[in-house]
Copies of this chain bind each other. A is one copy, B any other.
Amino acid sequence: MTSTTHHETQIVSDPDVPLVRIVREFDAPVEKVFRAHTDPDLVVQWLGPRGMTMTIDRFDCRSGGSYRYIHGRDGEEFAFHGSFHEVRPNELIVQTFTFEGFPDQVALEKLVLEDIGGGRTRLTATSLVDSFADRDAFVASGMETGVVEGYERLDEVLGGI
């Protein structure tokens, strides 16, 4: 197994609007980071915390497409779905996101990729909801573990493609 550098993941709750902002750098070019987010065969290898199995119901990652997937662990299942509002190659993915355990809650998510030179990429992911209470409950629910471990797994996927 090759050694992989894991950069720090910044997770910040915006003080003014009910939004969480995640910033993470990757030692891979934007093209690869984008592909790892849009090709379902790659997405299943890294999205979510370690120890989860991910099953894709649908994953049509294009402007106007939609997705649904299930995370499973120890017999428990957690399903998520949403729509891809815009997919702009190597730059931007705007999508909606619902955890089916709270079917009336919807987040608007934006993923922005920037080429920061040297074959490296800065990813900025924001998640916007309509109340601070829901945003804070989401952050307190342990999303940090899933995000940090997911991006460590993504480092490993990027090292192999």
Using CB atoms and an 8 Å cutoff, list the residues of chain A in contact with chain B: 16-19, 58, 63-66, 81-86, 94, 96, 98, 106, 108, 110, 126, 128, 130-132
**Residues of B close to A82: CB separation below 8 A:** 85
Q: Which chain B residues border A19 with CB–CB below 8 Å?
A: 130
**Oligomeric state, in copies:** 2
CB-nearest residue of chain B relative to A94? B106
Determine if B96 and A108 form an interchain contact, defined as CB atoms under 8 angstroms apart.
yes
Task: Specify which of B16, B63, B83, B94 is in contact with A84 (CB 8 Å cutoff).
Answer: B83
Given A64-B66, A106-B85, also A16-B128 (CB < 8 A): no
Q: Is the interface of A mostly helix, strand, loop or mixed?
A: strand
Task: List 21 A–B pairs whose Cβ atoms lie within 8 Å, in order of A's numbering.
Answer: A17-B17, A17-B18, A17-B130, A17-B131, A58-B64, A64-B65, A64-B66, A66-B83, A83-B85, A83-B96, A85-B96, A85-B106, A86-B98, A94-B106, A96-B108, A108-B108, A108-B130, A110-B130, A126-B130, A128-B128, A128-B130
Q: Quick one: closest B residue to A82, CB to CB? A: B85
User: Bound state CA distance, A107 and B151, in angstroms?
Assistant: 27
Minimal beta-carbon separation of A147 from chain B (angstroms): 19
